[in-house]
Amino acid sequence: MAFILELLNQLLQAAGQILLQPFYYLGIVIIMLQYRRQIVLERKLFHTKLHSIVHEFWRMLLWGWLCGIVASLIMIFVGASIPMESVYLLWAISLILLLFRVRYFNVAYAAGIMGLLHCIVGYFPGLLELTSYQWLFRPINELHVPSLLFIVAIMHLLEAYLLRIQGKRLASPTLVEGKRGKIVGGYQLQSYWPIPLFLLMPVAGGTLDLPWTPLFASGLDSAAVTGSWGFLALPLILGFTDFTQARLPVAKIRRSSSLLLLYACIILIASLLSYYWSFFILIASILTILLHEGLVKYSAWEETTQSPLFVHGERGLLILAVLPGSSAIELGLQAGEIIHKVNSVLVRTKQELHQAMRLNPAFCRLEVLNLEGHSKFVSRAIYAGDHHELGIILAPDAETIDYIPQKQRNLHFLHGLKGKPGKRKERQIYDEN
């Protein structure tokens, strides 16, 4: 009982450390800028808002703390040795990577680079004798890379789980330029979570004596000397970004989570191998970076091999998205379904849709082709104040002029609408997948 009370006391102190960490708040600010940009893009593309920044804030904050607690409980049985100076370097690398791509603002890339730097310092021990660079090389040399890579694996296991349970709530409709220059519908899939992680570390003069031996204890030199442990507060950012124009968002997220689960398992095994065989640290660090980047490239390649899903066809108007709390939600409409008839009139363009709805301004009856291609009939009275298209966001047509080109840019949450000369006078909205 005394041990549990002391453990809780140490955890509470570590939680207080997180609240004093500027990196934790910096991560939240960057995440909120990204969500704010998403909402701005939704307004510019569809003249409405599909997400609430307040809701996104509480969702990412609460789920971040929940994941942090789960990961910390796992790490209690693992142990770690990450000097505070290494934490600063980890964040410095992450912020530098952020200047190139927002998706690089992920612990996998920074941890992999830290592992590579650790190997370089190990191969060239003379670097440790450079007095002017002790602040850089000493914490890199003291870093226990297997435990850092183990953290990366645990983070991505949790990320795969979060993707599964949150699903389509992570999806934001968008418009992009297809391979043949035609504007098509798609979904930007993204979510970020600030993770407060509490790492069990060997400390001199610590008050916590463990009744068990952590997995990595024999590799942490100071643990053998002191035999006492304490907690280090480590703020991390867990992030996911993807894009689909060929699948429904739920199907794409399900596939992405499966690939992330596979990635996490591989890195978990690599971290354990690098613990028992130090020469494997270099291989594990490279795998951490390349496999994560490989997932991104594979997903992008997979999209190019399939036909766009969110385009109109001869059967009617395809639904790209529906507004939360709108009439479309009450009617049970969802993305991917096709509006075949309105008030018994076949519709293939937005103009035909509006004309058919004006046949009976007080009531609307729809024939919709569901995801299986079967017809379903829904109807509803139309009231003053209802959305003019029942809260339905349709796939783009020939008159659509706003879109997001596939070209990637750094710090893209700072960009907005930009002009592009052309016959259609299209306005571009810059984004990154």
Band (pLDDT 50/70/90 cuts) for residue 173 is very high
Which pair of structure tokens corresponds to residue 3?
């041990």
pLDDT of residue 219: 58
Q: Convert the pLDDT of each residue in 118-150 to its tens digit.
A: 999 988 888 878 878 888 888 888 888 999 999
pLDDT at 110 over 80: yes
pLDDT at 211 over 80: no
pLDDT at 101 over 90: no
- DSSP for residue 395: P
Across 31-60, average pLDDT: 89
pLDDT at 70 over 80: yes
Task: Show the domains of the chain with their CATH numbers.
Answer: 2-304 (no CATH), 317-394 (2.30.42.10)
Band (pLDDT 50/70/90 cuts) for residue 51 is confident
pLDDT of residue 365: 93
String of b and e for 234-259 (b: at least 16 CB within 10 Å)?
bbbbbbbbbbbbbbbbbebbebbbeb
Distance CA 71, CA 95 (A): 23
Q: Output the 3-class SS for 180-219.
A: CCCEEEEEEEEEEEEEEEEEEEECCCCCECCCCCCCCHHH
Q: Convert the pLDDT of each residue in 295-339 to its tens digit.
A: 999 999 998 889 899 999 889 999 999 998 888 999 999 999 999
Q: Distances from the Cα of 376 to the Cαs of 6, 316, 370, in angstroms?
A: 61, 14, 7
More confident residue, 41 or 286: 286
172, containing H or E segment: strand 171-177
pLDDT of residue 419: 36
pLDDT of residue 102: 83
Report the mean per-residue pLDDT for the chain.
84
pLDDT of residue 87: 87
pLDDT of residue 333: 93
Q: Convert the pLDDT of each residue in 387-410 to its tens digit.
A: 778 889 999 988 887 888 765 444
What are the residues whose beta carbons fall under 8 Å from the beta carbon of 372, sequence distance 6 or more? none
> Cβ(79)–Cβ(214) under 8 Å?
yes
Specify which of 72-81, 86-95, 266-275, 350-359 reaches the highest per-range mean pLDDT. Answer: 266-275
Radius of gyration of the chain, Cα coordinates, nearest whole angstrom: 26
Three-state secondary-structure class, residue 271: helix
pLDDT of residue 212: 72
> Cβ(288)–Cβ(270) under 8 Å?
yes
pLDDT of residue 433: 41
